[in-house]
Copies of this chain bind each other. A is one copy, B any other.
């Protein structure tokens, strides 16, 4: 068979198998959930908590594209879990389990696997998730890692992108822009004396655990950039959105990143903050939830009647151009 060495494994512990696959079993089997059946079966079993709906998301990261080449494997694993956890946070779901798909070059050494498993273990504990199963293959290309993650919600309470209504305020958690600034810092384009920007890019903090059902009409996490993601929520909800760039909360680094940092559309990439559409009557409850969670919250726009698009509005009410040649720029 001309393809020896390329066959998938379901991570069953194997005798007489190439060392790298035995290592994978050794590193990953201890991370398995009960339903993962010790990672020795063809599939895993998920028993949703009684009366709950499952929420499922998937994200892939490619070496050198979604993280910088040379990034420690531990960080890669943690970021992979966190970008998926952020999607669950945006849906208002409680995390449960995940499946892991790895495609790695054959010369990937044990240190990488050990570091990757250590990163998974660390964030499994932090976020209360566990490994259900997955697949590993070798690849002649770059390391490519995917997670499919499961969470649960009470029936009918998942937060969607499509619920924003005219009159809702657009709110954002935390600050915007340090994700992409962290990438620039790691690329040596801007200074980062205390490493806080790089840390923000490397290890986003998913905004889990806030009871936003009944408060927000719509939610999503910011990963592609604030302006672009505003466009997603406006189009999904079929309503116009007036974004007020002057209201967008920045850190001191963000405030020095140029007058067009927000309006150009770059700010917000890799931030993993939440965008929320909240009607005025729920603003007090939103503030209360965020205060209890210790997370800052700011209104940065307003949904208004009109075609599903995003318009920039200056403090004096005039229109500001958003994005360079369009606010969609990935």
A→B interface (CB under 8 Å): 1-9, 12-18, 21, 37, 40-48, 53-62, 64-66, 87-88, 90-91, 93, 99, 101, 103, 132-142, 144, 146, 148, 151, 153, 155, 158, 160-162, 180, 183-184, 187, 220-221, 223-225, 228, 231-232, 235-236, 266, 269, 309, 323, 325-330
Chain B residues with CB under 8 A of A101: 58, 60, 101, 146, 148
A4 to chain B, nearest CB (A): 6
Interface contact A56-B40, CB-CB below 8 Å: no
Instruction: Report the nearest B residue to A221, measured CB to CB.
Output: B42
A329 to chain B, nearest CB (A): 6
Indicate whether A266 sits within 8 Å of B41 (C-beta atoms), given known contacts A14-B231, A48-B54, A56-B133. Answer: no
Q: Which of B48, B56, B59, B141 contacts A141 (CB 8 A)?
A: B141
Chain B residues with CB under 8 A of A144: 103, 139, 141, 144
C-alpha spacing A58/B323, complex, angstroms: 38
Instruction: Report the nearest B residue to A100, measured CB to CB.
Output: B58
Indicate whether A3 sits within 8 Å of B183 (C-beta atoms), given known contacts A56-B99, A141-B140. Answer: yes
Chain B residues with CB under 8 A of A46: 53-56
Interface contact A42-B220, CB-CB below 8 Å: yes
A-B CB contact pairs (8 Å), 16 listed: A1-B266, A3-B65, A3-B269, A4-B330, A7-B224, A14-B235, A40-B162, A45-B55, A46-B55, A47-B53, A48-B48, A56-B148, A60-B146, A101-B101, A141-B141, A141-B142
Total copies of the chain? 2
A189 to chain B, nearest CB (A): 8
A220 to chain B, nearest CB (A): 6
Q: Which of B17, B61, B183, B221 contacts A2 (CB 8 A)?
A: B183
Indicate whether A1 sits within 8 Å of B42 (C-beta atoms), given known contacts A12-B236, A56-B132, A146-B101. Answer: no
A31 to chain B, nearest CB (A): 15
Chain B residues with CB under 8 A of A7: 223-225, 269, 330
Chain B residues with CB under 8 A of A6: 62, 65-66, 330
